[in-house]
Each structure stands twice: as structure tokens, then as C-alpha cells.
Amino acid sequence: MKKRKAVGEVIAVALLLVVTAAVMTVVISYSNDQIFSERQTATEAIEKSRKRIQELVSLIGISANSGSMSVELLNYGKEIITVEKVMVDGTPTPFSIQKSDGTPVGTTLPVKELVNLQMPTTGKTVQILTTAGNLFDFSA
């Protein structure tokens, strides 16, 4: 009887060790995933911050006529800026961007070139959100 009890205790301890090892494996694996994901996130945050610092835009002028607005801008930063969204008085609006000679440039603000941002609406403020996360706010 004592022998059976001892064998039962050994089996119970062995099962406890197996369960503990399995749980620890899952916990360590999850921890490694978390550490890796946070490291990746920090790297991405540094890169995004670097891009945001290099985005510099100057307002040259704003004009409004017959229900539309034109905003003349100069990107004097170091990189081409991609515009994600344009808002007039906080409301998203369609937009187009052209060089001063009328050549369309898509959604970008080229470096050291005057561009016109055209919108089919008017308002008091124009906000430009870039893909790097900068928000430029200009008042008419």
C-alpha cells in the first residue's frame, strides 16, 4: 500500500511538473512576442518622429472665389510631403494639388516648390494632415 501511495505521489508530482512546464512555455513565448512587438513599435515611432520633424510647410497665401479655395504653400523641409487629408473648418474635403504652372502633383508637396492646394469649398481655416501625422493649420 505504501508503495502504491509513493508511486501515486511521484505520478502526481510528475504531472504537476509537466503542467507547470507547459504553462511556463506559453508564458515565455507570449513575453517574447510582447517584447519583440514593443521593440518594433519603438523603432517605428522613432522613424515616424524623424519624418515629422522634417516636414516644414509655409503658407504663402489663401484666396477664395465663388465657392472654392486656393491655398498657396511652400514645402521648405527636406523630404516630399504626402497629404493624407485636407479639412476646411474641421470638415474633410476633396482636394487637388498643382505646381504653380498648373502641373498636377497628386497628393504630394514637392520640396522647395510653390504649389496650389485647390478645394471646392470655402471656410476660415484649412487643416492639412500628412501621412507622417503632422497637422498644419492655416487661417484665412
Can you list the alpha helix ranges (DSSP code H) found in 54-137? none
Q: For 57-139, which CATH class?
A: mainly beta
- For residue 112, with 0-12 CB atoms within 10 Å meaning exposed, 13-18 middle and 19 or more buried, which class applies? exposed
> Over the stretch 95-134, which tens digit does the pLDDT of each residue have?
999 998 999 999 999 999 999 999 999 999 999 999 888 8
Identify the CA nearest to 57 among candidates 118, 123, 127, 109.
Answer: 109
59: left (phi over 0), alpha (psi -120 to 50) or beta: beta
> Over the stretch 1-12, which tens digit does the pLDDT of each residue have?
556 666 667 777
Quote the pTM value: 0.64
